[in-house]
């Protein structure tokens, strides 16, 4: 082996290991600065808020549908252009509940009404008051001076009292003088299959979420 080869060998063995190079030898573009304590906390909080919003949005879309009120038939409880959150989760129609109905009608749009009686119950209207199974229906959601009428033979669903068939419900609007509902032949009894769900709360107008039951 030549003297020059021996010299190169000694230089290679004497060279420092790269893995032990100090941080100052790392190019500047590879250096990262850790955010300060306050900035790090803000990042963590923003991440938590974004995750929470995403979870709530997904749950809301799966559990609820949305429906708008058209017309005055549910006044004073609901008003025209109100927006409602509707859910069919764990739902069975019960008297007093407000529901969204998709049963075909001449308006070709969903209806929002209140369930008055369910399958097997008997509905009667006497002296402006509603009776279910021959007992006066306590409609605390209506103004005290509201009177419920029954349409003439030409338009009515049938002679009173009416027994609700299996698989159906009897519904009415809260605005009893301006609501086309189960009292009328063109609507009649509502098949439960055509009930989209129960109105849970009001989305619009803002600040008025509670619905009188």
Helix then strand then coil, in percent of the chain rounded to 5, is 25, 25, 50
Q: Is-cis flag, bond preceding 48, omega within 30? A: no
Catalytic residue among 113, 179, 182, 198: 113
66 by DSSP, 3-state: which?
A: strand
Question: H/E element holding 133?
Answer: none
How far apart are alpha carbons 199 and 202 in whole angstroms?
A: 8
Q: Let me know if 113 is a catalytic residue.
A: yes
Concatenated DSSP letters of 145-157: T-------TTTBS
How far apart are alpha carbons 65 and 117 in whole angstroms?
A: 24
Catalytic residue among 5, 34, 73, 147: 73
65 by DSSP, 3-state: which?
A: strand
Instruction: Report the Cα 85 to chain-centroid distance in Å.
Output: 4
Q: Let me know if 73 is a catalytic residue.
A: yes
**Which tokens belong to 207?**
């600040």
How far apart are alpha carbons 131 and 126 in whole angstroms?
A: 8
9-13-15-16 Cα dihedral, nearest 10 degrees: 170
Instruction: Report the Cα 101 to chain-centroid distance in Å.
Output: 15
- Catalytic residue numbers read 73, 113
């Amino acid at each position: 082996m030549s003297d020059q080869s021996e010299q190169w060998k000694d230089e290679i063995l004497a060279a420092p290991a790269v893995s032990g190079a100090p941080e100052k030898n790392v190019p500047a573009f590879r250096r990262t600065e850790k955010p300060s304590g306050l900035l790090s906390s803000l990042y963590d909080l923003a991440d938590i808020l974004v995750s929470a919003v995403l979870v709530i949005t997904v749950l809301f879309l799966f559990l609820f549908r949305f429906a708008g009120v058209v017309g005055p038939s549910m006044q004073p409880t609901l008003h025209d252009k109100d927006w409602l959150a509707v859910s069919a989760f764990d739902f069975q129609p019960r008297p007093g509940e407000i529901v969204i109905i998709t049963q075909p009608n001449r308006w070709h749009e969903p209806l929002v009404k209140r369930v008055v009686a369910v399958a097997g119950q008997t509905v009667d209207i006497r002296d402006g008051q509603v009776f279910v199974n021959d007992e006066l229906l306590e409609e605390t959601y209506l103004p005290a001076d509201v009177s419920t009428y029954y349409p003439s033979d030409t338009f009515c669903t049938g002679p009173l009292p009416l027994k609700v068939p299996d698989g159906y419900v009897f519904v009415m609007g809260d605005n009893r003088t301006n609501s086309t509902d189960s009292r009328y032949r063109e609507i009649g009894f509502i098949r439960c299959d055509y009930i989209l769900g129960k109105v849970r709360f009001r989305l619009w107008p803002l600040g008025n979420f509670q619905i009188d039951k």
